[in-house]
Amino acid sequence: MNAMDFNKPEYFINRELSWLEFNDRVLKEAKNTKNPLFERTKFLSIVSSNLDEFFMIRVAGLKDQVSVGFNKPDPSGLTPKEQLKNISVRTHKMVKEQYSLLRRAIFPLLKKNAIHVVDRNKLTAKQRDFIEDYFTASLYPVLTPMAVDSSRPVPLILNKSLNIGILVKRNEDKDIEVDKDKEFIFATVQVPSVLPRVVDLPRGSTVDDGDKNREQQDRYVIFLEEIIMMYLHRLFAGHKIICAYPYRITRNADLSIEEEEAEDLLLEIEKSVKMRRWGHTIRVEVQYDMDKRLINILQEALEIHDRDIYYIHGPLDLTFLMKMYAIDGYEHLRYPEYHPQTPQDLLGEQDIFKVISERDVFLHHPFESFEPIIEFIRKAAEDPRVLAIKQTLYRVSGNSPIIQALAEAAEQGKQVTVLVELKARFDEENNIQWAKRLEKAGCHVIYGLVGLKTHSKIAIVVRKEDHGIKRYVHLGTGNYNDITARFYTDMGIFTSNEYFGADASAVFNMLSGYSKLPALYKLITAPLDLRSKFLELIDNEIQKALSGRKGRIIAKMNSLVDSEIIKALYRASVAGVSIDLVVRGICCLRPGMRGISENITVRSIIGRFLEHSRVYYFYNDGRKDIFLSSADWMPRNLDRRVELLFPIEDKRIKDKIVDIFNITLDDTVKARISNEEGKYRKIDGRGKPSLHSQEYFCNLAMEQVNRYNKEKNALFFEKVE
């Protein structure tokens, strides 16, 4: 077995093409007629926002490689230039499918549900009067028309901004031939992001609509760019508008920071975030019938290739659909509201420190509430026995109660140390503001290690108790973000185990100073020994299988990219180890290859909640070694980030996680399974009970609370009698 060569390109799926297949699975949820309409619009919006980030980071990076002549193929054998070609074909196809769905299904269904997207050429007199007032009072003062001529170059167009490109000529000019482009003036107007993209119009479709009750129920909206195009003549008085079309550009937003040379990392990142808006153009989206003369002007000014122009048959930038999703009064078009439940281990408990001191506590979000984590920090801030709080923050919400509690703790004189990761992509500005707020409150704020992102999720509370100092630790797979915790699936534990506490303190000492990390009791860290630990765990299962015993691996993560891990899994499959992988997004491993990976299955679950937990199970002769982690099986997580892997030792919690795995692997509703080519299909549910794993976990959490309340009530009446 060791002589087999697992380095062949045909054994790997290209990372970028695998990501596009993930986004296609999101698109399939938008197409899924069993999902409520507003949920479908939300999925359609997510497809667009995902593509934005993909172009800004991944495509931009490939273009940079091509520009410097880098031609080394990836593990799948594709060079950067070949990857860009394949990406272009796939994304053009995806965008066409996206807008076909919008025109043929989403807009008609919105209309059927009394939400009308109005064309500017089909307005009633009442609606025109409203728009006239809206433009004059609210829109006109904000707009800035910008013409381009010999003295005024093409302005820098902001990344992801929606704009209107215009060809104009002076009214006093003589009529000129259409092909004499140089006699036309190019102008552009940015659609202001400070105003709502979707504008509500007065109700009532037509003057002669006889159904007055229907008229009161219907909602009419128009896009902001449509209003602007109605009034371009006011912005270019003295000119004749030849044509006008919306366009949008995407720029390179991949930050490059020389941390070793940065005297002030916070200042350098602030500068880099501002520069992100002006990176090289990566993609241009234009209306499908845009005048060719306008396209030529944009293409020349932005130095963009033909294949990087996307002709859009519908409104540009579908992220606006997320805001439409939030409008009031359409509950029947959304999933039924779900309220995260009190975790089973905390039902009826008032003193969180008392509970954690007695047993480890398991948390399964968003089925179980994130509130205990907020309460953990809040109680620590209020408790006079608490001496110190230490916590890592990667992504937090805009109005974070955890930040507030940490600041209050520092203001009360407690020792508060917070590692704020300034390099959390697209959260840099938010994190910079929080870092300043915490420093002002008196917290010790650190920014992590040079060259490494701190991605681990850990919090420690140091408390003085009757028998000495005790450390309470929270470890998790997800961010300390109370908003995303409502729709990201994650797991975590509270523990007062002294070995976990000692390890947690050692990790913080390493992060906050120059302390060399000692040998740890329980925690495994990246970039030091996480990779070797995973390889050791996989190899252990290989050795069991080779000796005729059961070998079993189950792993759940966001992405599987690391080629060394993939080759280890191939070796395990060949040895006879049974491997089930639940990978939400990118998976570069090819399952089901005869003689190579036929013992490996790969499935992905895309549903109401974003699958985010990282869980790793190794059978180990029935001992069932289970670990939770902040890390995916990706080179960046294993080699370039500070990550944590921690074991689950409480048998009760182990059993819960095994049950969660079993339900996840039995999902027949939202799960899709990958074939050898990396294409995903629905699970064949014939002969199997219908099982929606996320729905199951919601119901389970509610049943646990209901059962507790019934038992509590029964006990109360028993005492009364």
CATH number of residue 587's parent domain: 3.30.870.10
In this structure, the answer to whether residues 553 and 652 fall within a common structural domain is: yes
Alpha carbon 618 to chain centroid distance? 28
Annotation marks residue 455 as catalytic: yes
Q: Give the span between the Cα atoms of 487 and 365, in whole angstroms.
A: 8
258 burial (CB, 10 Å; 0-12 / 13-18 / 19+) is exposed
Domain boundary residue, one of 273, 304, 337: 337
512, part of any domain: yes
364 and 509 in a single domain? The answer is: yes
Domain boundary among 480, 495, 521: 521
Please report the pLDDT score of residue 719 as a whole number.
62
What's the pLDDT at 169? 83
Given a contact cutoff of 8 angstroms between Cβ atoms, the answer to whether 554 and 665 are in contact is: yes
Same domain, 669 and 577: yes
Co-location of 592 and 479 in the same domain: no
What would the 3-class secondary structure string for 316-383 be? CCCCHHHHHHCCCCCHHHCCCCCCCECCHHHCCCCCHHHHHHHCCEEEEECCECCHHHHHHHHHHHHC
Cα separation values, 688 from 128, 186, 581, 669, 683, Å:
57, 62, 20, 11, 10
Q: Are 605 and 664 in contact (CB under 8 A)?
A: yes
Whether residue 242 is contained in a domain is answered as no
Residue whose C-alpha is closest to residue 43's, from 98, 113, 95: 98
Q: Do 497 and 553 fall within a single domain? A: no
Give residue 299's pLDDT: 92
240 token code pair: 């004749």
Number of C-alpha atoms within 13 angstroms, CB side, residue 493?
A: 25
Measured in degrees and rounded to the nearest 5, phi and psi for residue 274 equal -65, -40
594 and 452, same structural domain? no
What gap in Å lies between CA 40 and CA 33, rounded to an integer? 8
Domain count, the chain: 3
- The residue with tokens 């602007």 is 228
Peptide bond preceding 366: is omega within 30 degrees of 0, i.e. cis? yes
* Residue 653, in any domain of the structure: yes
- The answer to the question of residue 102 being in a domain is no
Q: Are 604 and 582 in contact (CB under 8 A)?
A: yes
Q: Does residue 703 lie in a domain region? A: no
Question: Which among 116, 364, 455, 474 is annotated as catalytic?
Answer: 455
Q: Is residue 213 part of a domain?
A: no
Domain of 619 in residue numbering reads as: 526-696
Per-10-residue mean pLDDT of the chain, 721 residues long, equals: 82 98 98 97 97 94 89 95 97 98 97 93 93 96 84 76 90 45 81 94 58 63 96 88 95 62 49 58 96 93 92 96 87 94 93 96 98 97 96 86 95 93 64 82 83 90 95 97 95 98 94 80 96 98 97 98 98 98 98 97 97 98 97 96 96 98 97 96 90 97 95 68 57
Q: What is the sign of the dihedral through the CA atoms of 682, 687, 688 and 692? A: positive
User: Residues 540, 501: one domain?
Assistant: no
Structural domain includes residue 636: yes
Q: Residue 58: inside a domain, yes or no?
A: yes
Indicate the residue among 501, 521, 541 that finishes a domain.
521
**What distance in Å separates the CA atoms of residue 322 and residue 49, rounded to the nearest whole number?**
10
For residue 272, what pLDDT is reported? 52
Q: Which residue from 209, 180, 194, 183 is spatially nearest to 116, judged by alpha carbons?
A: 209
| pLDDT the model gives residue 566 | 98
**Residues 406, 511: one domain?**
yes
For residues 244 and 51, the answer to whether their CB atoms sit within 8 Å is no
Asked if residue 609 and residue 495 are part of one domain, the reply reads no
| Alpha-carbon distances of 679 from 21, 29, 44, 88, 560, rounded to whole Å | 7, 15, 20, 18, 15
Q: Radius of gyration of the chain from Cα atoms?
A: 28
The reply to whether 57 and 24 lie within a common domain is yes
Q: What integer pLDDT is reported at residue 462 of this predicted model? A: 98
Same domain, residue pair 371 and 470: yes
The reported pTM is 0.91
Q: 274-280: long-range contacts (C-beta < 8 A, 24 or more apart)?
A: 276/159, 276/251, 277/158, 277/159, 277/251, 278/156, 278/159, 278/251, 279/56, 279/60, 279/159, 279/251, 279/252, 279/253, 279/254, 280/60, 280/63, 280/251, 280/252
**Residues 515 and 531 placed together within one structural domain of the fold:** no
